[in-house]
Amino acid sequence: MATDFIYLDYAASTPVDPRVVECMRECSEFGFANPSSNHVAGRLSRANIERAAEQLAALLNVDPANLIWTSGATESDNLGIAGAARFRSHRGKHLVTLLTEHKAVTDVFRMLEKQGFEVTWLKPAEDGRLDPATFAAALREDTQLASIMYVNNETGVMQDIEAIGSICREHDVLLHVDAAQAVGKIAIDLQALPVDLLSLTAHKFYGPKGIGALYIADRPGCHVEPILFGGGQQRRIRPGTLPADLIAGLGLAAEIAQSRIDADLGHLNNLRRRLWAGIQDIDGVLVNGDIESGFPGILNVSALDVEGESLLLELEPFCVATGSACNSKSQEPSYVLRALGRSDLLAQSAIRFSMGRPTTEDEVELAARRYREAIGRLRDLAPAAAS
């Protein structure tokens, strides 16, 4: 299999840290037993899971008992949103979310609409940010749940979760946060942050795919109904035999992330600055989102008079994205960028560069040069469109 590519798609997935791979190998070899079993092998498997819960809890500053293991952020989003909405439905059926949320969130809300819930879909400002005052104005007496993403997966825009969470607490509204692009990348203290439900997945911070978690705050009225059935594991909230090796991998990835969040952020800030410096003077190139306060690992740009799929091919062997990974097979322009006011043509021309720990300065500077050349070639091929 060819491996002669340069990877700049870390928002889609990250490589598994070699230390995490070794941890999972050892767990698979010596801790493979069903953790529900009471014999010595089962206890060893269970111990690996408990250690991982402590590692993740330390990263988030929570009690390990407030963590539920899932198959990833998609399941966590589904469980947190649908589970909480149904649990509190007797108190009201009004829900609030953003038009720019991940499909794992928006599709759940559309499903709930079909089941009799009413959803207010908020539109962010042109920079992608949600004004807390706009959010507060959307709440009603029967509002029971809101879901706002921490770091947008396409643009890197970061929402003011502290302010939004405080508003939710004032109105007794549960706040769910999709933090798949935030956990392990920015500091999150859930003892200080007013968040009730938080979703995460390991493969966004150098852990394995297929494992994630849902944080459920320990406070009155904060609970979720299960969406899966079949066993008593995890307080009957999420039944099923736990994958001890994947969970151990998530735990170690969380521990590694906690030790280097500041260093990683400094590295990513430097990379994004160099990348943007190399392309910002190209005619008709626009940043999508708020580059000043956004997560530095993502730079999303559109170009006038250029088609995104053609640009993607011209950029090879660089691995970048034209939208979110979950929606990459769709030919539709990004609904996230359209919600920010971009035209269909500008949304279709968008390229998301996302950097990670292994990314080098040479790689982003080469990417900037390749992007400039690609824009020039495509405009030369269609000079009428560029006029």
Annotated catalytic residue, options 23, 168, 319, 326: 326
Residue pair 271/353 in contact (Cβ under 8 Å)? The answer is no
> What is the C-alpha separation between 26 and 50, in angstroms, rounded?
16
Distances in whole angstroms, Cα of residue 313 to Cα of each of 4, 299, 319, 378: 15, 18, 10, 11
Q: What is the DSSP string of 2-26?
A: ----EE-BTTT--PPPHHHHHHHHH
> What is the C-alpha separation between 52 and 311, in angstroms, rounded?
42
Q: Give Rg (Cα) of the chain.
A: 21
Residue pair 272/40 in contact (Cβ under 8 Å)? The answer is no
> What is the C-alpha separation between 93 and 86, in angstroms, rounded?
9
Give the largest Cα separation in the chain, rounded: 74
Residue pair 59/257 in contact (Cβ under 8 Å)? The answer is yes
* 326 flagged as catalytic: yes
**Coil, helix or strand at residue 344:** helix
Which residues are catalytically annotated? 326
